[in-house]
Amino acid sequence: MLFDLDGVLTPTADLHRYAWQSMFTEVFAEKGVTRPYTDDDYFEHLDGKRRYDGVASMLASRGIVLPLGLPTDPPTADTISGIGNRKNVYFERALTELGMHPYPGSRLLVDELFEKRMPMGVVSSSNNARWVLTAAGLIDLFPIIVDGVVAARESLASKPAPDMFLFGAAQLNLPAAQVVVFEDAISGVAAARAGNFGLVVGVDRGAGHDALRDAGADVVIDDLADYASATSERRH
């Protein structure tokens, strides 16, 4: 099993959406952009992508072209990297103030699979994945973590490319055809489908059942507790 993190295991997607909205509202005001940031922008340009890729896509949607810069750029830098780092300031502040707990249904399924010694990993575009997993009390349940830091180190393309999921499967020593992927992002579902994974489970946290199916989900659920219940029923 390979799980996306934000929106699948933990409600960090809500914090990310808040951080992106706050940050881009500020950036657009600075640059005189009159078309406001919306939730549709999040799902189309940001959800599931590595941070700098998402920033570049979002800026391009408003006709803004900036240099990439460096990952070490300060949050005040007028570069793609600087703006991405500014977003992380908003996110870290929200996570520190609000804390983090996994979705109850996700914890139920993960605990059940862990007891059965199911090979599991997390595949997340976030650079903060280990921090979030630690805050949510899940870090010890996932020996394999493929996050934004690993993707940069291994030169793995961002979702919707299948690279990160395929790398995760390789770390589990399993072919993609024997791995189930849980994803809430359209780009993540498309990535898993492109990788020819055995089962792609879309988790609807706002993208919509139809959109997830159109992206390639074999089945769509509203909560991971639904999958745990279905698995239990099949056993009995």
What are the catalytic residues? 4, 6
Q: Report the residue count for the chain.
A: 236
Residue 149's contacts (CB-CB under 8 Å, 6 or more residues apart) are: 127, 129
CA 98 to CA 18: how far, in whole Å?
12
Strands across the sheet with 121-123, in order? 144-146, 121-123, 2-3, 180-183, 199-203, 219-221
- DSSP for 135-194? HTT-GGG-SEEE-HHHHHHHTPPPTTSSHHHHHHHHHTT--GGG-EEEE-SHHHHHHHHH
SS3 string, 11-52, reads: CHHHHHHHHHHHHHHHHHHHCCCCCCCCHHHHHHHHCCCCHH
Q: Rounded to an integer, what distance in angstroms lies between the CA atom of residue 131 and that of residue 205?
A: 22
* Residue that has been written with the tokens 């180190």 in this structure: 153
Rounded distance between C-alpha atoms, residue 200 and residue 150, angstroms: 22
Question: In which element (H, E) is residue 231 found?
Answer: helix 224-235
